[in-house]
Amino acid sequence: MPNAVRSGLACSLLLTALSALLGAAPARADGSFPQARQILLRQDRPEQIVLVTNFGLIFSEDGGKTWLFSCEQGLSAYAGPYLLGAAPSNRIFGVAAGAGLIYSDDDSCSWQAAGGAFSGVLPYAFTVDPATAQRVYAIGVPRDDYRNGDSIYVSNDGGLSFGQPVFTSPARSALLSVLVAPSRPSRLFATMFSTPENHPSLLRSDDSGEHWTVAADLVESLGENPFELLAIDPLDEDRLYVRILGASAETLATSDDGGLSFIPSLSIPGKLNAFLKLATGTILVGGTAGKEAVGYRSKDGGQSFEPWPGAPHVHALAERNGKLYVTGDSYADGYAIAESDDEGAHLRPLARFDQVQAVKSCVANLCADSCAYHAGIGLWPEAVCGTAGTSPSVNDADGGAAPDMAASDVAAGAPGGVESGQARRPRISGGGCRCGWVPRRRVEDWTALLILGAMLVGRRVRRVPRGTRPVENV
C-alpha cells in the first residue's frame, strides 16, 4: 500500500495513538485550524443542513438560521469523510480512525461500527448506492495483514455488516476510490494504481460489485499518476470525472466512453478540493494554489473553463432544489458556509463557527469538554456550552443569513455581509497532523513523526508521485 496514498489513514491512526500515549484532551479540530470540510443535505428535510468540520458536525434544522454542535465522541473520534445513505433511512456514514466504518441513524446522537467480515478491516474509502439504502461499498485492508492487496467489500444490509471481499488488488497495487453510476446503480467503477510500473487502471463492475474487470490501463491518458473518481454523470454512466494526482498539480479529466480514455481539461498548481455538476449542467471546481483560493466554472460540460470570480477557499460544494451551498474558510473568507441562487455568482454567508448557539441535547454531556475547549480558543462564546437543545432561540441578528452580496465582495470582506475581520482566529499553538485526507492534518511534532514512521515501516514500501492523497469530499 503506497505510503503517500495512505498518509491520511496513517495520520488518523497516529492521532488516536497520540491521544492514548500523551493523554490528549477532547478532540481539538485535530490540531489544525477549525475548518468546514463537507456539506450533507437530505432531500426529505429541506431545511436541514449538516456541516462537517474537522472537529465534529454542526446541524441546522431551519435553513441556516440556528446551528447546533455535535462533537467527535466515542466511535466517531477523528472521523471523516462522511456520506449520507439513500432514503428512507438517510443513515450517516463515516470512517473513524479506531472503529473503521461507522454509522448513525439519529443524526450523530449515537454511532455503531460495521460488523461481519469488515470488523477486522481498516477502511479508507467508501461509497453508498444512491438507489437503495441497503447497499454500501467500501475499500480497505485487513488490520492484521497490510502486506497483501487492498480489497472491495459489499454490504447488503445498509452497512451493518459486510461479506468477504469481492475483489482484491494484485500485490504492489492500491485501490483508491469507488463510485456507483447514479443512472445505472448496477454499474460501479474503482480506481487502481500499480507499482513499480506506475500504471493507473480503471476497474468496472456491471453486477452491483460482485465481479470486477480491468476496464482500461490509463497510462496513455493520465500518465504515470494515480487518480481518483470525482463523479459519474447522473444521466450518463459513461461520462466520468476524475482527479489526476500529479507531483506538482492536480488535474480534472473527463471520459465520455465509460473510462476507456480521458481528456484533461483543467489543472490547478496545488489542490483540487471540490467538484460539482449542477442540475443546470454548469460545473464548478474549487481549489487552492498555495494559500490562494481558486475557482472555475464550465458551461460546456467540462470542455472549457472560465475563472469563478471571488471564489472562496472551497472544500465542499452541494446542491439541493436549485440552491448551491459552498464551504469557505471561516477566517480567510469570513464564513464557514454560504448559499447561492445563481450558481455562485453571489454568495450569502449562512454561518461562522462563532454563530453556533448550543450543543445538541442528545450529546450535551459527551461534548461538554470539547465544547469548553473550543470556547477557550475563541471559536464560539462560552455561553454555547451552557445550553443544549434541538431548537435554541436566536438572540442576536448574527444568527441568521447575511444579506446578499457578490462572491468577489465576500472574498474582499466588503460591507453588507460577514466581514473577514469579524471572524476571530483561534489561539492554537503547537503541532498537529496535516496528512492530506479529510480532514487534512499537519505532522509537526517529533513524537508524532516517530510514531508515524514506526507505523509506516510495517507497510510495504512503494513509490508514488508526491502529493498523492485519497479522495476528499467532492
Query: What tens digit of pLDDT does each residue of 40-82 get?
Result: 999 999 999 999 999 999 999 999 999 999 999 899 998 989 9
Q: When comparing pLDDT for 10 and 152, which is higher?
A: 152
Residues, the chain, total? 474
Tell me what pLDDT residue 31 has. Answer: 54
Q: When comparing pLDDT for 439 and 365, which is higher?
A: 365
Tell me what pLDDT residue 425 has. Answer: 32
Q: Are strands 283-289 and 292-298 parallel, antiparallel or unpaired?
A: antiparallel
**284 — pLDDT class (breaks 50, 70, 90):** very high
Distances in Å between the Cα of 129 and the Cα atoms of 84, 100, 275 are 10, 19, 19
Contact, 67 vs 111, CB < 8 A?
no
| DSSP letter, residue 19 | H
Which of 389, 325, 326 is closest to 356 using CA atoms? 389
**156 — pLDDT class (breaks 50, 70, 90):** very high
The DSSP H or E segment spanning 127 is: strand 121-128
Distance from C-alpha of 376 to C-alpha of 27, rounded to nearest angstrom: 13
Q: Which three cell numbers stand for residue 76?
A: 466517531
Distance from C-alpha of 15 to C-alpha of 452, rounded to nearest angstrom: 9
pLDDT over 80 at 188, yes or no: yes
Distance from C-alpha of 83 to C-alpha of 318, rounded to nearest angstrom: 12
Tell me what pLDDT residue 145 has. Answer: 77
Other Cβ atoms less than 10 A from the Cβ of 183: the count is 16
Tell me what pLDDT residue 29 has. Answer: 52
Q: Which three cell numbers stand for residue 89?
A: 433511512
Q: Is the peptide bond before 81 cis (omega within 30 degrees of 0)?
A: yes
Distance from C-alpha of 169 to C-alpha of 141, rounded to nearest angstrom: 10
Positive/negative CA dihedral, 446, 450, 456, 462: positive
Distance from C-alpha of 236 to C-alpha of 168, rounded to nearest angstrom: 28
β-bridge partners, 153: 138
Contact, 461 vs 3, CB < 8 A?
yes
Mean pLDDT of 156-168: 94
pLDDT over 60 at 200, yes or no: yes
Q: When comparing pLDDT for 301 and 10, which is higher?
A: 301
Tell me what pLDDT residue 13 has. Answer: 37
Which of 283, 409, 388 is closest to 338 using CA atoms? 409
Tell me what pLDDT residue 147 has. Answer: 74
Average pLDDT, the chain: 80
The residues near 272 (Cβ < 8 Å, ≥ 6 apart) are: 243, 250, 251, 252, 285, 287
Dihedral class, residue 174 (left if φ above 0, else alpha if ψ from -120 to 50, else beta): beta
Dihedral class, residue 198 (left if φ above 0, else alpha if ψ from -120 to 50, else beta): left
Contact, 65 vs 109, CB < 8 A?
no
Contact, 74 vs 366, CB < 8 A?
yes
Q: Which of 28-32, 295-299, 317-321 has the lowest mean pLDDT?
A: 28-32
The pTM of the full predicted model, rounded to 2 decimals, is: 0.79
